[in-house]
Chains A and B, each alone.
Chain A
Amino acid sequence: MARYILRRVGTMLLALFFIVSATFFMLKAIPGGPFASEKKLPPSIEENITKKYHLDDPWYIQYRDYLIRTAEFDLGPSYRYEGRTVNDIIADGFPVSAQLGFVTVLISIVTGISLGTIAALNRNKFHDYFAMILATLGFSVPSFIVAFILMYIFAYKLRLLPPALWGTWKHLVLPAVSLSFVPTAVIARLIRSNMVEVLQQDYIKTAKAKGLKKTIVIYRHALRNAITPVVIYLGPLVTGIFTGSFVIEHIFAIPGLGRHFVMSIQNRDYTVILGITVFYSLFLMTMNLAVDIMLTVIDPRVQLVDEKR
């Protein structure tokens, strides 16, 4: 297993190198720059600015410097936000997005699994249809529409919750609920389809025949086996949600990381684009590895082995 993990980490670093390189050259290819504006600057001022940020260095020097700094975990200064480094921006934004993400994932898992289980146990009955219609709705309505509806009802009409900003748990409720609609729906459907399959397996019949209580049959035997795809789904879900959603952060004015994914591109803030790409990739690959390891715990049939052997 140790050897397997080591190998995976090795592949991760290689992938990271390719991601960084590809992003770097793509950035160089897009028109515009971090200091472009509708007012054309006099040439000498433009030169001074370019020099200040070392953007006048040849590309291979910039590329080399960037690779070296990234290897040292220094993602460089932001071009747009003077005096702030990309490390600062991630350190400021990620905890916020992660906090919101954690609550979102929690809501999604609890509601998703409950909904899926209820549906599976009542297959083709009213409960099932109702739950699955809800799941389909949750999956197909975009989060920003959910966000506006929730904001309108709970903040504008009922005045129960603040419409935006960040700070207390109250600020967390609306964005977390808005964000949880899609993952809840996905988890519910995954659980349902797997439960339906698992419930027909011989070992469930055996468990029932042994006279085990229904709850034990469901939780210990059926659910545990049906949960594998959900765990696999958690890898990308956690990465996506913990690193923030642009739309939700924009609507609720949340100081998370999500906005930087979009705004840094609009701003041509090269170092921020690269930095958060590196961060995201690293996070995604680590989560996927964590999920693979977690699977061995949940499902004894899964074993991590070095493919070469």
Chain B
Amino acid sequence: MNLYFLIFMIGIALLTAGCSQKQDDLKNGEQVITYNLGAEPETLDPATATGKAEATVQMAVFEGLTRLDKDNKPVPGMAKDWEISDDGTRYTFHLRDAKWSNGEPVTAYDFEYAWKRLLSPETGAYYAYQLWYIKNGKEYTDGNVSADEVGVRAIDDKTLEVELIAPTPYFLSLTAFSGLYPVNQNIVQSNPDWHTGVDTYVGNGPFKLAEWKHNQKLVLLKNPNYWAADDVKLDKIVMTMAESRNTELTMFETGQIDIAEEVPAQEIKRLLDEGTASIHPDLSSYFSVFNTDNDFLKDKRVRRALAMAINRQSLIDNVAQGFQKPAYAFVPNGVPGINGDFREEGGDYFQENVERARELLAQAGYPNGDGAPTLELMYDNRGDHQKLVEAIQEMWKSNLNIDVKLKKQEWGVYLKSLFNGDYQIAMAGWNADYVDAMTFLDMWVSDSGNNVAGWRNSEYDRLIEIAKTSFDNKKRIAAMHDAEKILLNEMPFMPIYFYTNVNMYKPWVKGVVVPTIGGFQEFRWAYVEK
């Protein structure tokens, strides 16, 4: 190793000397951004894709009836305008003159086809439920009615009519979601594998797919057929697929990529000081769910005591380090309330107070933690839970004198334990499917498959039902506020924090929008300024 290795390395040093690593793309004024997508997309078919990487690519290649702007508000996309009936259940969208990337016109029939395709039992789409707001949407997925009975219909090439079951104030922002993108009917019907090849992957968005080397890179070029192509400044996006966070950071710092996500926690402070990192709020909540069937945890006072006895700001500052927001409720900031922000209106529902927590525990019959069983705290091997659960374990021990055993499980095993109620306390997260408090609150109703706490409350169910069927937005949101209050009084779970996304951008990258849902990179308005 000594001599040969040295010669080898000197050889390499000589060979590489003088070869500059700089990108020469920019020399001719081309607008290029290299972004680490972080994973190979599992599929690019809008109907079946589920993840973040997938949605990022689709957002660049497709466009729904609307698009979310930098304030997360839906702005006209394929639809140039729309009418909503007085009762809020009938939408009529008027499409603009737009073309697919292969030059064919985008029609209302493409939308009808795509939406029914998402709902169809044969597609087996994960996100089919995103269209269950439409009349007979669920019935069609369940296989009970035919496609003709679904409440979406193209009146002519340019008019799409949608019939909803109940007024759904967030329906417009839902049309910007990737599952509801149109697909080119001719292309999809002639080739079931249309979404795997560069030539057949036809979109209607600002960019088009030019190259896809699996697990390696994806290249998008500006789509000259996009209706607002004049307004798209970027010529090219190169997406790499490095999965390791540490590698990604080195790639960013050595100039291999211009945008990186998921900065290693210990580096965040340094990068913020340097000005390359930025914090973006995310519509998702991190919490510990209590199994209320457990003898100890079925007492509300115990659950409240546990929730009050941890120091969230300390967890964030010393462990998570991503400038998350301590949570004293369940719905994060960033969803609409009656006049302003839902969270601001609702406020905090409890305070951290170790003294009070000890009192509650004593009232429940466990003064100074005496007689309390050893608790088991379950978490999965995918997220960054390890240090956090250790800190929580320590806080419960020192504040309440309760012993906690940590139980790490492989992801698939964890999910099975969670959904079978085979746990005591579990670390969990929940992210929004749409921009409304309902996407958080309806998981705790009695018959929700996601209510793993085993907690049932008929008053809560009643309020959610009112919110779901109410024609009056004020009444709807008031009901959700009341429901959240019950939830946080009962505490089938203990909120910890609202997530953030920490991203890094080279100083010349401008105009990239990070939606609060999903934390994607939206390149529609992006450009490079050197």
Contact = CB atoms under 8 A, between A and B. Distances in A.
Interface of A: 30-33, 35-45, 48-49, 51-53, 80-84, 88-89, 92-93, 107, 110-111, 114-115, 130-131, 134-135, 138, 148, 151-152, 154-156, 158-167, 170, 173, 177, 184, 188, 250-253, 255-256, 259, 266, 268
B124 A49 contact: yes
Contacts of B129: 41-42, 45
A217 B415 CA distance: 65
21 contacts: A37-B50, A37-B415, A39-B450, A44-B141, A44-B142, A49-B124, A52-B122, A81-B40, A111-B1, A115-B1, A115-B2, A152-B250, A154-B12, A159-B21, A160-B12, A163-B256, A164-B247, A165-B216, A173-B12, A251-B247, A252-B247
Contact of B16 (A37, A88, A170): A170
Contact of B253 (A156, A167, A253): A156
A36 B419 CA distance: 11
Interface in B111-156: 121-126, 128-129, 138, 141-143
Given A250-B243, A253-B241, A111 B4 contact: yes
Contacts of B45: 82-83
Contacts of B457: none
Given A35-B126, A41-B449, A83-B43, A251 B5 contact: no
Contact of A131 (B2, B128, B254): B2
B33 to A, nearest CB: 16
Contacts of B240: 165, 253
B264 interface: no
Given A31-B412, A33-B412, A160-B16, 14 more contacts: A36-B416, A42-B138, A45-B128, A51-B124, A83-B193, A83-B196, A107-B8, A115-B1, A135-B1, A160-B12, A161-B16, A163-B256, A165-B251, A184-B1
Contact of B242 (A40, A84, A152, A165): A165
Contacts of B128: 45, 48
Give the top 6 A-B pairs by smallest Cβ distance, nearest first: A32-B412, A40-B449, A253-B242, A82-B43, A52-B124, A255-B215
Contacts of B12: 154, 160-161, 173
A12 B143 CA distance: 47
Contacts of A177: 8
B285 interface: no
Contacts of A84: 196, 214
Contacts of A135: 1
Nearest to B255: A159
Interface string B252-274: 01101000000000000000000
Nearest to B128: A45
Nearest to B448: A40
Interface of B: 1-5, 8, 12-13, 16-17, 21, 40, 42-43, 45, 48, 50, 121-126, 128-129, 138, 141-143, 193, 195-196, 213-217, 240-244, 246-247, 250-251, 253-254, 256, 382, 410-413, 415-416, 418-419, 428-430, 448-450
Contacts of A173: 12
Contacts of B416: 31-32, 36
Nearest to A88: B214
Nearest to A32: B412
Given A83-B43, A164-B250, A259 B412 contact: no
A155 to B, nearest CB: 6
B216 A255 contact: yes
Contact of B247 (A81, A163, A184): A163
A42 B132 CA distance: 11
Nearest to A33: B412
Nearest to A165: B240
A41 B214 contact: no
Contact of A151 (B40, B250, B413, B418): B250
Nearest to A247: B244
Contacts of B250: 151-152, 155-156, 163-164
A146 to B, nearest CB: 11
Given A184-B1, A259-B215, A32 B450 contact: no
A111 B5 contact: yes
Given A42-B129, A114-B4, A253-B243, A163 B121 contact: no
Interface centre among B16, B48, B129, B213 (most CB of A within 10 A): B16
Contacts of B413: 30-32
A40 B21 contact: no
Given A38-B429, A39-B450, A45-B125, A80 B42 contact: yes
B40 A163 contact: no
Contacts of A166: 216
Contacts of B196: 82-84
A38 B254 contact: no
A84 B195 CA distance: 11
B256 A48 contact: no
Nearest to A158: B13
Nearest to B215: A255
B246 A148 contact: yes
Contact of B141 (A40, A45, A155): A45
A121 B147 CA distance: 82
B483 to A, nearest CB: 20
Nearest to A153: B9
B4 A156 contact: no
Contacts of B430: 38
Given A49-B124, A155-B250, A134 B43 contact: no
A6 to B, nearest CB: 38
A199 B247 CA distance: 47
A107 to B, nearest CB: 8
B214 A255 contact: yes
Contacts of B246: 148, 251
Contacts of B247: 151, 163-164, 250-253
Contacts of A151: 247, 250
Nearest to A268: B412
A158 B12 CA distance: 12
B67 to A, nearest CB: 25
A93 B215 contact: yes
A266 B411 contact: yes
B4 A45 contact: no
Interface centre among A84, A88, A253, A268 (most CB of B within 10 A): A253
A243 to B, nearest CB: 15
Contact of B4 (A32, A110, A161): A110
Contacts of A82: 42-43, 45, 48, 195-196
B222 to A, nearest CB: 23
A188 B3 CA distance: 14
Nearest to A167: B216
Nearest to A147: B247
A135 B3 CA distance: 13
A297 B244 CA distance: 44
A32 B415 contact: yes
A110 B210 CA distance: 42
A236 to B, nearest CB: 21
Contacts of A89: 214
